């Protein structure tokens, strides 16, 4: 049931048309994030939303894991994944504080590069996330550094903490 009083005064939010990152910008972001990786060693990817059920790339292992210092929430306005240009929806993102359980995927280093390029096109088209290497504790107790996509707070697609009734209405 739609209740206009439940929606924020600026709904749909004014997030502008948005601009897709160019191929060069995506490549530069990926290169910067992976600058210390030699291309041979396996690496870990932390999934906390759609990556859990659809990583979209071949993995060597999938293990439950937890990151601290970030929590998962519906903090990203989206016109594509959930919503339309006229009525944006909400997408999960990692934001500061707390902890988040998810799935840590191990990628085979020697074959990872083309899959990382595809992952960047999927997760980073508008630059709403900041790729980060986060300490992740696996269910085995092992600690690894895992690549995760953290919400940027300086972009118009960042929602901040919305009241629960608004999230329920929009989502």
The more confidently predicted of residues 10 and 129 is: 129
The total of structural domains in the chain comes to 1
Of the candidates 123, 139, 142, 169, the residue annotated as catalytic is 123
Residue 156 has pLDDT above 60, yes or no: yes
Mean pLDDT of 71-94: 88
Q: Is residue 73 a part of any domain in this protein?
A: yes
Q: Is residue 14 a part of any domain in this protein?
A: no
Task: Write the CATH number for 113.
Answer: 3.10.490.10
Q: Is residue 5 a part of any domain in this protein?
A: no
Q: Is residue 8 a part of any domain in this protein?
A: no
Read off the pLDDT band of 4 (50, 70, 90): low
Alpha-carbon distance of 48 to 11, in angstroms, equals 26
Read off the pLDDT band of 19 (50, 70, 90): confident
Mean pLDDT of 104-110: 97
Q: Is residue 3 a part of any domain in this protein?
A: no
Which candidate, 75, 82, 88, places its Cα nearest to that of 17? 88
Mean pLDDT of 64-91: 90
Q: Is residue 123 a part of any domain in this protein?
A: yes
Q: Is residue 118 a part of any domain in this protein?
A: yes
Residue 17 has pLDDT above 80, yes or no: no
Q: Is residue 6 a part of any domain in this protein?
A: no
Mean pLDDT of 10-30: 79
Residue 1 has pLDDT above 70, yes or no: no
Q: Which domain range does residue 81 map to? A: 19-170
Residue 23 has pLDDT above 70, yes or no: yes
123 is known as an active-site residue: yes
Mean pLDDT of 16-43: 90
pTM of the model: 0.89
Read off the pLDDT band of 6 (50, 70, 90): low
């Amino acid at each position: 049931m739609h209740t206009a009083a439940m929606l924020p005064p600026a709904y749909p939010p004014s997030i502008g048309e948005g601009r897709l990152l160019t191929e060069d910008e995506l490549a530069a972001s990926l290169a910067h994030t992976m600058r210390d990786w030699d291309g041979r060693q396996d690496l870990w990817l932390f999934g906390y939303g759609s990556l859990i059920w659809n990583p979209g790339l071949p993995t060597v292992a999938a293990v439950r894991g937890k990151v601290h210092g970030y929590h998962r929430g519906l903090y990203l306005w989206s016109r594509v994944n959930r919503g339309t240009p006229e009525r944006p929806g909400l997408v999960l993102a990692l934001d500061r504080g707390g902890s988040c359980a998810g799935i840590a995927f191990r990628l085979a280093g020697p074959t990872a590069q083309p899959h990382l390029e595809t992952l960047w096109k999927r997760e980073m088209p508008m630059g709403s996330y900041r790729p980060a290497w986060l300490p992740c504790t696996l269910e085995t107790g092992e600690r690894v550094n895992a690549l995760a996509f953290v919400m940027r707070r300086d972009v118009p697609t960042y929602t901040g903490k919305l009241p629960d009734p608004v999230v329920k209405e929009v989502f």
